[in-house]
Structure 1
């Protein structure tokens, strides 16, 4: 009786098995390279975050015409050594030279920087129809952009901005509102 299943010639079978093995090795290698690449990317992101969270913080200069005036001097002297961020107290952070006038920052290895800038010009976003938020007796304009929220105090003799990551909670703006109440209130639109 003849064999119902034809046999493959031995060289064809060996070639098929070799190609299957090479294909499996290729898939495994691609997976390892992909995993290694993802780990390197994650390590690079963590290194950037650590650099942003430690050491002197470089702040770019921005126009701050009132930064060296008496109102900013009084406010900056009153700012706390620590800010409440969620359930943590975050310390002041050193600023890199050249330090912009009217600027301070807080942050540590676990928290992204929170900055305050005093003496800014009137923000372009402030219009008679801008939605303002009152926090502890201070009128704030909230601007969210690129994962950060800037709160601009608009009813004091100088404009003050607090910029924090979106997930920082309300503690920093409440702390700053308490300090800003020491400055006299003024109408938002004269």
Structure 2
């Protein structure tokens, strides 16, 4: 009888550890509920270029610490937009296609090239926003900084193979 209490306590501790481990796994899992995106000015969102790009984008983006799946968008979803889950409780990755020319883009703008696509970097604290400026349409991808550079690299690969470069 003297060994029953320690064994019972050990069993309770093991069960609590398993339950806590499952909760931790759920906390690390990205949110997959439909995402409501507000409309933005995107005059070319329904263009053939945007339609082709959106159809070609991957279902999952490379990200750190784990890949992120595409999210369904809540109705009414804005044309030319898609999103992928962020980390649990974090912001999603959002792509918008068919945007107007960004006013920040000038002849002297510093651009970065990621996997063959020229991007204007409009990053802010906590998130990186890149606007592709060398394609037939302007598109923006906003990535929470905690996901690393994988999402914009994955999007760049699809942009490069789907939309021809312009000068």
**TM-score under structure 1 length normalisation:** 0.67
Q: Deviations over 1:104-146 (max 9, x none)?
A: 0000562530011011001111111111000111100111125
Match of 1:91, SS? strand
CA RMSD of superposed structures (Å): 2.0
Aligned ranges for residues 62-73 of structure 1 at < 5 Å? 62-73=40-51
Q: Which structure 2 segments of 5+ residues have no match?
A: 1-26
Quote the residue 1:145 is aligned against. 124
| CA shift for structure 1 position 87 | 3.7
Q: How many pairs were matched up?
A: 138
Match of 2:122, SS? strand
Larger radius of gyration: 1
Q: Which structure 1 segments of 5+ residues have no match?
A: 1-48
Asked whether 1:165 is paired with 2:144, we answer yes
Structure with more helix by fraction: 1
Asked whether 1:186 is paired with 2:166, we answer yes
Contact 1:84 1:171 (8 Å CA) reproduced: yes
Quote the residue 1:133 is aligned against. 112
Find the aligned partners of 1:104 and 1:54 in 2 and give their Cα distance.
13
Runs of 4+ in 1 over 3 A off after TM superposition: none
Q: Which has the higher contact order (CA 8 A, sep 6+)?
A: 2
| CA shift for structure 1 position 178 | 0.7
| CA shift for structure 1 position 167 | 2.2
**TM-score under structure 2 length normalisation:** 0.76
Quote the residue 1:156 is aligned against. 135
